[in-house]
Structure 1
């Protein structure tokens, strides 16, 4: 199962900082997490960057393995 880490607003909307999911791709992950955590989370997720093992995964076809770690990062500002 891939390990998922939520940060900032994504963690708040999910009600957790971590979870595990058994999925084959980033697209599947988005669907499962949206179903699991509801409409407000799905809205936040649509604006998030997803990193798989530290590398940005912009394409829903990016495959996921059971040993992968996915970081869900909402947009942030700062300087």
Structure 2
């Protein structure tokens, strides 16, 4: 199965892409998605992910062991400056 990961602000800069499809094995979790994109994009994205909020199909992710469904969208929202 695959899901779409969308990056915003500093996460987009760290990943170098605005979004991407990620192949996830059956039973994969949000943590598995984060491990896959970290392996793909490296330490800079890993640092941003540690501080980011996540939305899975527009619902806040509080438990990273949550299993996304096929074709889900995971948004990575780093802390925003200003206000």
Structure 1 length as normaliser, TM-score?
A: 0.92
Q: What residue in structure 2 maps to residue 47 of structure 1?
A: 51
Q: What residue in structure 1 maps to residue 8 of structure 2?
A: 7
CA-based RMSD? 1.0
How far has the Cα of 1:76 moved from its partner?
A: 1.3
Structure 2, gaps ≥5 residues long: none
Aligned length: 79
Q: What residue in structure 2 maps to residue 28 of structure 1?
A: 32
Structure 2 length as normaliser, TM-score?
A: 0.88
- Structure 1 runs (4+) deviating above 2 angstroms are none
Structure 1, gaps ≥5 residues long: none
